[in-house]
Structure formats: structure tokens, C-alpha cells
Amino acid sequence: MPEPTLKFSVTCPDCALESISEMPIAVIANRLLTGKSLRLYSKCHDRYWTATYIEREKLRKSLAALSTDTNARQNPPLSEESQAEELTRDVRLDALVSA
């Protein structure tokens, strides 16, 4: 089974061009959970850089949404407003990593 990956848009720090990047979900989740730096890549300038706080938050939200979709089959949908807490997202991410 291929490793599940997440496609997300990145903005090149050199030319501000948006491009699509792809990374294993486990890697992204691990970096976000451990607080380690996350390397992003932009094809247009063949450029690697460390994700900023804003970029990390964007990825965190993408993973949280993804994780919610995955859990939807097992668990009944919960109220969106009450589930918007960051802590809940981290727990879901944690489950995702160990899956």
C-alpha cells in the first residue's frame, strides 16, 4: 500500500508563484506534533525553505480536515463549532500518525 500523501499549495519565497507540493501525511503530522522544522519545496526555483508559522497552521488545518473525513465513517459527525479546538485536532493528528 502506498504511503498516503497530502497535496497542498506552497508559495515560492523567490517569485511568490503558487505551486502544488506533495508530502507524506505521516511526515507532516510528525513535524507539526513534535515542533520540528518542516521543509517545503518550490519547483519553479528549485528552492527549499523552512515552513513559517502561517504555513504550518495551514497544513495543520488541512490535516485536521482530512482526519475528520477519515473518522467520519466510524464516528457520528460532531458539532463543528464545539470541535474547533486545537487540542482535539492534535489528538486526531496523533491517531493519524500511529495508524
CA-based end-to-end distance of the chain: 13
What is the size of the binding site for Zn ion (CB under 5 A)? 6
Residues in region 14-33 near Zn ion by CB under 5 A: 14-15, 17
Give the residue with the Cβ less far from Zn ion, 15 or 72: 15
Contact mark string toward Zn ion, 39..58, x via CB under 5 A: -----xx-------------
Among 12, 26, 27, 97, binds Zn ion (CB under 5 A): 12
50 vs 83 by CB, closer to Zn ion: 50
DSSP string for residues in 1-47? -PPPEEEEEEE-TTT--EEEEEEEHHHHHHHHHHT---EEEETTTTE
What's the min distance (Å) between Cβ of 19 and Zn ion?
A: 8
List interacting residues with Zn ion (CB under 5 A).
Answer: 12, 14-15, 17, 44-45
